[in-house]
Amino acid sequence: MLWYKGWLETRFRVLFALVVWAYVLISAISRGVAGHAGPKEFLLAPFVIWLLVPIMLAGAGIHTQPAFRAVKGLHGSMLFTLSLPVSRLKLLAVRAGLGWIESASLIVLVCACLWTLFPQLRQAEFIEYVGVLLACMTPIYCITVLLATVLDDIWRLYGSGIAIGLLWALFSKTPFPRSLNIFRAMGVGSPLMAHSVPWGAVALSLSLAAALFFAAVKIVQTREY
Amino acid sequence: MTDFIIEVSELTKSFKSQPALRGLNLKVPAGSIFGFLGRNGAGKTTTLKALMGLLRPDSGSARVFGIPVADADRSAELRRRIGFVTEDKELYPYMTVEQIIRFTRPFFPKWRDDLEQRYLKTFELPLKRKIPDLSKGMRSKLMLLLAIARGADLLILDEPTDGLDPAATEDVLRELVAIAASQQTTIFFSSHQLSEVELIADHIGIIDHGRMIVSGELDDMKARYQRLQIVFAGETRTPAHWVEGVENVRREGRTVSILASRNVDAIVEQARALPGASVERFPVTLKEIFLEHVRDN
């Protein structure tokens, strides 16, 4: 039933993300991939949407979230949730798991549409590209999961933006190895463009995601409400 | 020997070095309706949250059904046996009455369909209505239904009648007594409404500044506590030392009013021995006991 509760909380966000993607895809179909050298380059353009959707769906940890609005002060029912005979680990894992599945499903769905619409993308590396997107999206998602354990809705969104910005600056503005750059791995370093899987970035993404989720679990288990 | 469902010993809890509980001691007997009284900020909600495992005490111990509330491994087991009604009566805003019942039911193997149906009818809860569209009274009733139907052995209720109109309050109080009687459920509830507590509680505890200042059976307490009014023909006098049991002494003109908690006969004798004194005894209400104690404290 926790999955059901999570779905009721996030369904309008999923719908919103679908509408945004539908708009992007319809624009691409009607105007071709105008302004881009080709569909591969077009894929890099809505990069920010790849990042925004997981942030939006990462949810509120074990807080109760309104269906769509990001407003403060609607979390009284969290005490009702915490009175249920369920461990805090399970509460967090189900909510975070659901948001990840929704984000991943959207990525797979959008990629499947692009693959169908643009024959130029039907190359061997496309599956790898989707896999890399899923892996590299996960730490971005987990940043929001972690922040949700300590921040309310609107601050969680701001916090996520700042944290991701800092992460991007770390990768881009410092002498950080390019092979580990998770943002590059979703763009010019992706299998579609570089024709090889950026294993370093994938490994770093998954390790970072695990560490962030572990930290979120520890906070939720020790936090007072 | 009395079985205690809740046993709290020397519990302390501070928030940013501001003490909320200062060595709280509390024992709630099995099957009782225990009214937990206190002023705003006295520590009632902190105690209730500590019992639900939502807060970690700084020191001391708290056990419910003999299980330490700090035992994270058995926390879910504890909550399966407790029905909790929160002070704010907030539930998921995106669910209807029917959805939240359907959501809650699977978590509790002892869920009572008969009680669910009974209270849906008694409380006249509209199944298809969204929770934000319910009045506060309706939300209180829905929370009570969700707490009761889970087949709980203990109900912990934070201000269960807060925001209810007199008719709804009457409904809720009547049902609480019925539940305690028919289901052998222990009810531990906090309230500001002394008249309500007096109506349904068989045990009370008064907390002030994070300490339990009075606790016991209500009937016993009301039998023990008496107000003595001493009227002097001439100048008012009081002994240098009253017999033990005098809780409070107040002078007004030629009248001295005493609240006594024990040794009442001895205190009366002592008062009668004062020159020109005539003494009358009056029963006291829970409100008087409460006010005298929290004022003194």
Round to whole Å and give the CA distance between B117 and A89.
33
Q: Are strands B33-38 and B203-208 parallel, antiparallel or unpaired?
A: parallel
Give the per-residue pLDDT at A41.
65
% chain A with pLDDT above 90? 23
d(CA B53, CA B51): 5
Which of A85, A222, A225 shows the shortest C-beta gap to B107? A85
What's the rounded Cα separation, in Å, for the pair B104 and A179? 48
> Is residue A72 very low, low, confident or very high in pLDDT (cuts 50, 70, 90)?
very low
Residue of A nearest to B90 (CA): A77
B143 touches chain A (CB under 8 A): yes
- Mean pLDDT of all residues in A85-108: 91
Instruction: Look at strands B67-68 and B59-64 and give their pairing.
Output: antiparallel
Please name the residues in contact with B234: beta carbons below 8 A apart, sequence gap of 6 or more: B254, B275, B276
* Residue A2 CB contacts under 8 Å (≥ 6 apart), including other chains: A86, A90, A91, A94, A95
Which pLDDT value is given to residue A59? 66
Distance in Å, alpha carbon of B246 to nearest chain A alpha carbon = 41
Averaging pLDDT over each range in A47-56, A152-161, B254-263, which range is the top one? Answer: B254-263
Strand runs (DSSP E) across B57-153, as ranges? 59-64, 67-68, 82-85
Residue-wise over B6-22: b if at least 16 C-beta within 10 A, else e? Answer: bbbeebebeeeeebbbe
Residue with tokens 């209505």: B129
Average pLDDT, chain A: 82
Residue A142: CA atoms inside 13 Å, Cβ hemisphere, count? 21
Amino acid B296: pLDDT: 64
* Residue B53 C-beta-side C-alpha neighbours within 13 Å: 29
Contact present, B113 and B44 (Cβ < 8 Å): no
Q: Alpha-carbon distance B146 to B160, whole Å?
A: 13
Cβ within 8 Å, pair B92-A8:
yes
Maximum Cα interatomic distance, chain B, rounded to a whole number of Å: 73
Please determine, for residue A75, whether its predicted confidence score (pLDDT) is greater than 60: no
Q: Could you tell me the pTM of the whole model?
A: 0.83
What pLDDT band is residue A37 in, cutting at 50, 70 and 90? low
B231, B251 in Cβ contact below 8 A? no
pLDDT at position B117, please? 94
| Distance (Å) from the alpha carbon of A138 to chain B's nearest alpha carbon | 27
DSSP B230: E
Interchain pair A5, B103: CB under 8 A: yes
CA pair distance B52, B80, nearest whole angstrom? 11
Minimum-distance CB partner of B91 among A77, A86, A221: A77
Pick from A4, A74, A83: CB nearest B52:
A83
Model confidence over A162-204: pLDDT tens digits?
998 899 899 888 888 888 998 888 888 888 888 889 999 999 9
The pair of three-digit structure tokens given for residue B66, joined into one six-digit string: 């003999």
On chain A, the residues whose CB falls within 8 A of the CB of B72 are 87, 221
Which has more pLDDT, A145 or A125? Answer: A145
With beta carbons under 8 A apart, name residues in chain B contacting A76: 86, 88-90
Give residue A152's pLDDT band: very low, low, confident or very high (50, 70, 90): confident
For the question of an ipTM over 0.95, the answer is: no
Q: How far apart are CA B72 and CA B50, in angstroms?
A: 13
Contact between B106 and A1 using a beta-carbon 8 Å cutoff: yes
Q: Look at residue A70 in the predicted model and tell me its pLDDT.
A: 39
Q: Decide if pLDDT at A205 tops 90.
A: yes
How much is the CA Rg of chain A, to the nearest whole Å? 18
> Residues B9, B57: contact at Cβ < 8 Å?
no
Q: Tell me which H or E stretch contains A223.
A: none
- Look at strands B255-260 and B246-252 and give their pairing: antiparallel
For chains A and B, count residue pairs whose Cβ atoms are closer than 8 Å.
Answer: 74
Residue that the structure tokens 């009366």 belong to: B268
Kindly give the parts of chain B with pLDDT less than 70: 1-2, 296-297
**Continuous segment of H or E residues that includes residue A21:** helix A2-31
